[in-house]
Structure 1
Amino acid sequence: MERLNWGLIGGGEGSQIGPAHRLGARIDGLFELAAGALDANPDAGRAYARTLGIAAARAYGDWREMLEGERNRPDRIDLVTVATPNHTHFEITRAFLAEGINVLCEKPMTMTVAEGEEIVRTAEGSGAICAVNYGYSGYSLVRHMRAMVARGDLGKIRLVMAEFAHGHHADAADADNPRVRWRYDPAQAGVSAVMADCGIHALHMASFVIGQSPEKLSADFASLVGDRVLEDDAMVNLRMSGGTTCRLWTSAVALGHQHGLRVQVFGEKGGLSWAQEQPNQLLWTPLGGRTEIIERGGPNLSPQADAASRVTVGHAEGMPLAFANLYTDLATAIAARRAGQAAPESWCPMAEDGLRSVAAVHAAAESARADGAWVDARPPMYR
């Protein structure tokens, strides 16, 4: 496959997510980092881009300059990753999609449901791919879970339990820490804090594994530290499109939890359990049988799990390699479109997934304000 030109917006020096994207995009040699607008400070962004090997002419001061500079280049970027603060995702993503440039947007895709619907329409109108970085869906054994559910190993899925609970915002002394404070400020974070930041990953994971989307939900939000306006803990009950019940817990005050992403699936014929901090093992308990440990890279896994596994059995695979699987999915889809061919089936999360997740976050905030009333979790355009 011909190497594709890749651009990055945000993810500059000191960024939490930037290194994972740079590693993920380049591990397989499918993308070359050709352009970047990496920092809110134009001079800092240009300087850091040069240290990453980006040519001076394509080390841009901001995303608008980048869009203008790439627009008419014969070697313009094939994919841009938007790794900027949440409130900027919509404007940047829409602008590049409208230009026909494929986008991988960090979550949440947008701040509002209306913006999310506009992104879906823009992508459909331009023919460009719009993907959303629910990167945990790239883990090999997560994909094996989905394959097991899809081929009927668990029978009808009765219940899915998803959680993303950490304790890194439990210290009230962090009230004025800018890295924490913005997450609980409605002007910067929107209608939700921990549900939009972490719970959205747990929700997508549940939806991805069982192949169902949220239809209605009931939520309880709590602000447990200091005088935070937005929630730092949430419990959400959901009814999914295939009839499955989903229980979701997300928290930023769960001391003792580090990353805390876990999903459990319970069906008529068996149950599965996977935790992101132990990504090489998947627990499988068949009805009437003993619990088995399925090892990543081991024998008799699904083709999807084998394709997403990159190092030999027994060695740890981490988040950048999960991201790499999404970038490989995108490279394959982009190459197929270039060749005028139908793209193979992809499990990369797309704009529709991003929209459904944003709609569920807004529905959860609405429900919490109404003391847990059940509300419709679907975006209006999919009702």
Structure 2
Amino acid sequence: MTKLTWGMIGGGEGSQIGPAHRLGAGLDGEFSFMAGALDHRPDAGRAYGRALGLDVDRSYGDWREMLDGERTRDDRVDLVTVATPNATHFEITKAFLEGGFHVLCEKPMTMTVAEGEEIVNISKETGKICAVNYGYSGYSLVRHMKAMVARGDIGKIRVVVAEFAHGHHADAADADNPRVRWRYDPAQAGVSAQFADCGIHAMHMASFVTGQEVERLSADTISAIGSRVLEDDAMVNFRMSGGAAGRLWTSSVAIGRQHGLTLQVFGETGGLRWAQEQPNQLYYMPLGQRLQVIERGEAGLSPEADRASRVTIGHSEGMPLAFANIYKDLAEAIQARKEGRTMDPAANLYPRAEDGLRSMAAVFAVAESGKAEGKWVDARPPMFR
């Protein structure tokens, strides 16, 4: 099997997300890092690319130069990751899809619902994969959780409770810090801050695990720090396509919370609970029985969980390895297309452009409902209604 090649836009020196992508893409040896436009400053981007081992002619000054350079090569990269500021995702993703590249885009995929629908359509028309980095869905026990729900281990789902709450923006004195301020500025962040940044991860996780889509929602949003235009805390109630009721809390002012991504799923015959800060354990309570602790890496897990686990039981696997599972899925999807075969179903779990579109529709629905004091609104994008 020929090794696939990979390129990255954004994620330069000092980036929060860049190292996680480079670790994830390279972990299983299925991708070689061959091209990049890593910084909005052309000289800095070229220099950092060379420092990471890129050839001079494939360490580009900006994404347009990379697009022009790669699409004329016989050895063009197989996959491009877009890890630039949010407002640029749509333009870059669209250009590379239309240029014939598979794309993995950081979330949010776009800034508007209309842009999201356009990306979904372009991906279909070009036949190119557009994946979205909801990387937490790559955790082994999240995938096992999904498999347990799908095979009916806890019966029909009644209630889903999702949280993504931290306290890292709780200091009002930090309001003018440029690394914080832009997140609550509509001119830079769009219609939502905390929900668009973190809440959509929790909502995607709820849909990923249950196999149900969010259809309508009611949101209570606040700006706990008064100088902020956009919300820093939100409580969202939602209803799903299979009849489940959902509760979601997301916050950036929850002092004492560090990361705070958790998911609980309650069915007719059992319940499940998983927390990202303790990712090696999945708590399973069958109706009328004792609590069971499922350990990552133990015998008898689902094929989806086994494929997403690399180190022996008792050792932690963290976020870069979860990202690696998204890249591993994409490698299998791309290789299957090249070889004209059906991909491994246990790998067919990477988040799609459709997931990015649904998330953006939910962002606008939360903003609308929050302004209307919790009015229930349709959370589906128009093309899926």
Q: Are 1:352 and 2:364 an aligned pair? A: no
Q: Is the 8 A contact 1:175 1:226 kept in 2?
A: no
2:297 — aligned with what? Answer: 297
Offset of residue 72 of structure 1: 1.1
Q: Secondary structure at the match of 2:114?
A: helix
Amino acid at match of 1:92: I
Q: Secondary structure at the match of 1:343?
A: coil
CA distance in 2, matches of 1:284, 1:308: 20
Offset of residue 343 of structure 1: 2.8
TM-score of the pair, normalised by structure 2: 0.99
1:264 — aligned with what? Answer: 264
2:284 — aligned with what? Answer: 284
Query: Aligned match of 1:373 in 359, 372, 375?
Result: 375
Question: CA deviation digits over 1:116-172, x for unaligned, max 9?
Answer: 000000000101000000000000000000000000000000000000000000001
Question: CA deviation digits over 1:6-31, x for unaligned, max 9?
Answer: 00000000000000000000000000
Offset of residue 32 of structure 1: 0.6
CA distance in 1, matches of 2:217, 2:201: 16
Q: Are 1:382 and 2:376 an aligned pair? A: no
Percent identical: 74
Offset of residue 2 of structure 1: 1.6
Amino acid at match of 1:359: A
Question: CA deviation digits over 1:177-225, x for unaligned, max 9?
Answer: 1110000010110000000000000000000000011100000110001
1:35 — aligned with what? Answer: 35
Q: Secondary structure at the match of 1:311?
A: coil
Question: CA deviation digits over 1:233-265, x for unaligned, max 9?
Answer: 000000001010000000000000000000000
CA distance in 1, matches of 2:245, 2:226: 33
CA distance in 1, matches of 2:207, 2:239: 11
CA distance in 2, matches of 1:62, 1:97: 17
Offset of residue 175 of structure 1: 1.1
CA distance in 2, matches of 1:343, 1:128: 15
1:343 — aligned with what? Answer: 343
Question: CA deviation digits over 1:353-374, x for unaligned, max 9?
Answer: 1111111111111111111100
CA distance in 2, matches of 1:116, 1:342: 27
TM-score of the pair, normalised by structure 1: 0.99
Q: Secondary structure at the match of 1:220?
A: strand
Offset of residue 299 of structure 1: 1.6
**Structure 1 segment 202-281 matched on structure 2, within 5 A:** 202-281=202-281
Amino acid at match of 2:52: L
Amino acid at match of 1:142: V
1:316 — aligned with what? Answer: 316
Aligned residues: 383
2:178 — aligned with what? Answer: 178
Q: Are 1:16 and 2:16 an aligned pair? A: yes
1:330 — aligned with what? Answer: 330
Q: Is the 8 A contact 1:199 1:250 kept in 2?
A: yes
Offset of residue 109 of structure 1: 0.6
Q: Secondary structure at the match of 2:175?
A: helix
Gaps of 5+ in 1: none
Q: Is the 8 A contact 1:367 1:375 kept in 2?
A: yes
Q: Secondary structure at the match of 2:357?
A: helix
Query: Aligned match of 2:364 in 352, 356, 362?
Result: 362
Amino acid at match of 2:358: R
CA distance in 2, matches of 1:302, 1:35: 36
CA distance in 2, matches of 1:100, 1:123: 10
Question: CA deviation digits over 1:326-369, x for unaligned, max 9?
Answer: 10100011011112223333010010111111111111111111
Offset of residue 53 of structure 1: 0.4
CA distance in 2, matches of 1:177, 1:41: 22
Amino acid at match of 1:147: A
2:82 — aligned with what? Answer: 82
Amino acid at match of 1:83: A
Q: Is the 8 A contact 1:260 1:277 kept in 2?
A: yes
Amino acid at match of 1:234: A
Report the more deviating stretch, 268-277 or 340-349.
Answer: 340-349
1:192 — aligned with what? Answer: 192
Q: Is the 8 A contact 1:86 1:111 kept in 2?
A: yes
Q: Secondary structure at the match of 2:316?
A: coil
Amino acid at match of 1:310: R
Amino acid at match of 1:74: D
CA distance in 2, matches of 1:291, 1:195: 32
Q: Are 1:50 and 2:42 an aligned pair? A: no
Amino acid at match of 1:287: L
CA distance in 1, matches of 2:97, 2:29: 24
Offset of residue 226 of structure 1: 3.4
Question: CA deviation digits over 1:246-295, x for unaligned, max 9?
Answer: 00000000000000000000000000000000000000000001111100
Moved over 4 A (4+): none
Amino acid at match of 1:335: Q
